[in-house]
Chains A and B, each alone.
Chain A
Amino acid sequence: MGGKVTCTLGEVKQRADFIVYWGGNPAECHPRHFTKYTIMQKSKFLPRGRKDRTMVLVDIRETKSAKAADIFLQVKPGKDFELITILRALIKDQHVGDEQIAETGMTRAGLDDLVHRMKSCKFGVFFFGMGLSMTRGKHMNSAALLTLAAEMNAFTKFVAMPMRGHGNVTGADVIMRWQTGYPFGITFNRGYPRYNPGEFSTVDVLVRGDCDAAFIIGADPGATMPQPAIDHLARIPTICLDPHVTHTSRLARVHITTAAQGISAPGTAYRMDELPLPLKPALKSPYPSDEEVVRRINEAIAKKPFWLPDGSQPQVVTAIG
């Protein structure tokens, strides 16, 4: 079944002698990743730093990050899942045909070399970006790489980590997990959390028109989502909190300007490896923080009649094993 095998970034800094970036362009999207956490760092286990580490970049095009890589592997667009699945077979000494390998844009020699390096390193890591997780196959592409990393532990130490973008999206994930058990894609309409990505995930919900009001915070779906989703947001009462007046604000019934996190609002943010860090705002904002505004809205909601009629218990929809 595989699973998820990961670590904090300091482990990579200290130990990783084999670093693969897959479908990501850290040089331009996470500029300090190389210098602060990965290839450029020296450590007691890798005293020569860059010289003691090998970096591989797998992507559909030669981005700026390729310059930093020892090996660049250009995978054909839409073939990441196939390539990772081939690697899963190759590490187990299963035969895969040359023609099949060629369809992914690779050569047998190239993959043999990659597998050899993967197996002979002391500590390997896959970092994967949106080039993997947002292309055809989506979460299955990420699952493929996570599984490959887990399976590599039969040979050596290997971990995998998503290169999360967007500031504190990791924090949302972590908090939802401890408060609801699930990382995203949740409904509380039966009075307790249920989870089903595809059913309760926002793009799907909006495109199908499944919600009749929306509260948007720390995101601008009005600028980034497919048009049918944006159309639905404009149709229903939408409330938007943002430090700026955004595309979403313009289609919303209510916009409230808030202080920017880490600039003028204090608090906590989670790093991509799920470490929480304190924020130290430099400026004082003329606007209230998100935390304050959402809390005040919650207090206002709490004063209204509770949605579950007194004494009623919604039916729980449990799985039937």
Chain B
Amino acid sequence: MPITLYLKQAPAVPLETEVLSPDVISQLSNTEIRKLTVYHGKRQVPLEEFFDVDGEHSDELIIHGDLNKVRWIGRAMSKGSITVHGKVGMHLGAYMKGGRIEVHGDASDWIGAEMKNGFIHVHGNAGGQIGAAYRGSLAGMKNGTIIVDGSAGLEVGMRMRRGTIVLGGIARDFTGLQMKGGTIILMSGAEIRTGAWMNRGTIISLKPLQMMPTFAYASDFNPMFLNVYAKQLKTYGVTLPYAASAGTYQRFAGDLSVPGKGEILVWQPA
């Protein structure tokens, strides 16, 4: 039986709830969960002031409500699952080490920031800095997968080192900024400055991109690794074209300003 939480009162200011994580909750009784401390702005309040809680002793969390001011859900979680029905606020799954987060709604900025592993799927739109490094950190997400069905904001995958980010909708500026590794897949393309200052890693776009001037066209090709990748992504419901009969990928190398060894692959249907 999962633990189900219902937001009963919208917070007036941001509510910080890093305790909403299977690692914290899974061993707790219903009463103990209700008494967990959350932060409404600077006020320390028991979780039950904002949430009705059903269930106990489970590492599956289901949260209902408009949580767009609720921050840090699933922070550093390593196991279990969190399912959100509604909007969710910043830092969802930041520093996450494992487990699954699913959002049936929109998410805000910094989801999966500096995550080590795990899986996040946002069925709506998301904000900026997905899987990114916080200010000053040398690396963003180090592994794991983030899938956003809708659009995304600025600086997606900033300084990410490994792992995969898939965006169904369009991304804004600086996708893959200073990327060090891993893969970003843009099903609907991105605005500008994609891959700026990237060092390593791969950005795949199924729509034409406005390229940074410091990326050099290298070749047209259908890389083998994409077959493997496409099969893996299929399990998440993401379809990545790779057959030569369907088209080819234009490969751009950069960012020359670093100079980096990253690549941007742009799909060209046959």
Contacts and interface: CB of A to CB of B under 8 A. Distances in A.
Q: Are chains A and B touching directly in their complex (CB below 8 angstroms)?
A: yes
B39 A89 contact: no
B137 interface: yes
B12 A195 contact: no
A190 B12 CA distance: 17
B119 interface: no
A6 interface: no
A85 B196 contact: yes
Given A88-B257, A315-B18, A320 B109 contact: no
A189 B213 contact: no
B163 interface: no
Interface in B74-101: 75-76, 90, 95
Interface string A17-31: 000000000000000
A58 to B, nearest CB: 16
B95 to A, nearest CB: 4
Nearest to B128: A198
A86 B174 contact: no
B216 A314 contact: no
A319 B214 contact: no
B239 to A, nearest CB: 32
A212 B75 CA distance: 25
A62 interface: no
A96 B129 contact: no
Contacts of B41: 189, 212
Interface string B185-227: 0000000010011000000000000001110100000000000
A104 interface: yes
A307 B42 contact: yes
B69 interface: yes
A94 B173 contact: no
A91 B178 CA distance: 19
A315 B37 contact: yes
A130 interface: no
Given A95-B216, A317-B18, A85 B42 contact: no
Contacts of B43: 307
A71 B255 CA distance: 28
Contact of B212 (A85, A198, A314): A85
Nearest to B217: A97
Contacts of A137: 173-174, 193
Contacts of B173: 136-137
Contacts of B114: 319-320
Contacts of B257: 85-86, 88-89, 92, 94
What band does the interface of chain A fall in when counting residues whose beta carbon is under 8 Å from B? 35 or more
A189 B174 CA distance: 30
A196 B134 contact: yes
Given A81-B196, A94-B256, A317-B18, A210 B69 contact: yes
Interface string B108-152: 011000101000000000001100001101100000000000000
Interface string B168-183: 0000011001000000
Interface string A284-321: 00000000000000000000000111001011010110
A154 interface: no
A94 B259 contact: yes
Interface of A: 1, 81-82, 85-86, 88-89, 92, 94-97, 100-101, 103-104, 136-137, 140, 188-191, 195-199, 208, 210-212, 307-309, 312, 314-315, 317, 319-320
Interface of B: 12-14, 16, 18, 37, 39, 41-44, 69, 72, 75-76, 90, 95, 109-110, 114, 116, 128-129, 134-135, 137-138, 173-174, 177, 193, 196-197, 212-214, 216, 255-259
Given A86-B213, A195-B135, A210-B69, 18 more contacts: A85-B212, A85-B213, A86-B214, A89-B259, A92-B257, A103-B213, A104-B213, A137-B193, A189-B16, A190-B16, A190-B39, A210-B13, A307-B42, A315-B18, A317-B16, A319-B134, A319-B137, A320-B116
